[in-house]
């Protein structure tokens, strides 16, 4: 989730309208950890908690989206509840979460598992106001390819990229862990996205250092916060807002 989340943020910076909304309405510079916590809480609630809790979280986001409107630098109007914009953000998130799990997860997913994940997550995007959401890897790849011509790095996107790459933390041990997560997030971005973000790729840096270190960090996190016991997971309430 950490690695996929960072990659998703970087990928979303390439959409001029999504980035304009963040630049105009978000307090990510003043309260970066708070914004990250709220985003993580939304993802966790809509993924793992009850239908009632997921529905409430989605409704809170919908209320916020209704007032997030404005004009981008090129004069194009935007609104956060635009179905196409919601679809792009959703696709960026699930693409990056799936890519992170493929590389750093402990269980190999089958093609059916991956499609099931996308079908489950599509319910959240539809409840947020999206209209056309991929429910399979084939559909997701097709949607990501279709939107590429709209993506570019704006001045606001460049500022946000620099902020995320440098990080809000200053203690040495915090910076070490953060830098690793960011490097791992960059490593799962498609090559075209890294080029568009103007993030240089150091040959062999990712396979020789980032991947082993990130897997070690993941094992440490799983040791400190172990998965739910199987018997608890089996009786957990449904997790998606739409049933």
CA distance 234 to 236: 6
Alpha helices in the chain (DSSP H): 2-12, 16-25, 32-48, 51-67, 83-104, 111-128, 137-147, 155-166, 172-187, 191-197, 205, 211-224, 230-234
pLDDT tens digit sequence for 116-142: 999 999 999 999 999 999 999 999 999
pLDDT at 151: 97
What does pTM read for this prediction?
0.85
For the chain, the first-to-last Cα distance in angstroms comes to 24
Q: Check if the beta carbon of residue 93 is closer than 8 Å to that of residue 117.
A: no
pLDDT tens digit sequence for 61-118: 999 999 999 999 899 999 999 999 999 999 999 999 999 999 988 888 999 999 999 9
Nearest residue to 121 (alpha-carbon basis) of 133, 138, 107: 133
């Amino acid at each position: 989730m950490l690695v996929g989340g960072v990659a998703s943020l970087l990928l979303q910076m390439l959409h001029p309208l999504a980035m304009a909304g963040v630049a105009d309405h978000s307090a990510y510079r003043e309260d970066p950890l708070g914004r990250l916590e709220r985003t993580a809480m939304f993802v966790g609630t809509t993924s793992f908690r009850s239908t009632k809790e997921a529905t409430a979280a989605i409704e809170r986001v919908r209320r916020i989206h209704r007032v997030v409107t404005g004009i981008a630098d090129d004069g194009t109007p935007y609104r956060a509840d635009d179905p196409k914009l919601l679809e792009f953000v959703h696709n960026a998130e699930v693409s990056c979460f799936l890519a992170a799990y493929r590389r750093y997860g402990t269980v190999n997913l089958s093609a059916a598992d991956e499609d099931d994940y996308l079908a489950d997550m599509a319910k959240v995007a539809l409840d947020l106001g999206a209209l056309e959401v991929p429910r399979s890897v084939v559909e997701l790849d097709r949607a990501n390819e279709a939107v590429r011509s709209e993506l570019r790095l704006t001045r606001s996107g460049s500022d946000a990229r620099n902020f995320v790459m440098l990080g809000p933390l200053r203690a040495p041990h915090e910076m070490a862990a953060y830098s690793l997560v960011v490097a791992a997030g960059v490593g799962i971005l498609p090559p075209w996205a890294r080029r568009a973000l103007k993030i240089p790729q150091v040959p062999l840096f990712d396979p020789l250092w980032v991947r082993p270190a990130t897997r070690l960090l993941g094992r440490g996190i799983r040791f400190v916060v172990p998965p739910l016991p199987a018997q608890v997971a089996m009786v957990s309430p449904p997790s998606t807002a739409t049933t």
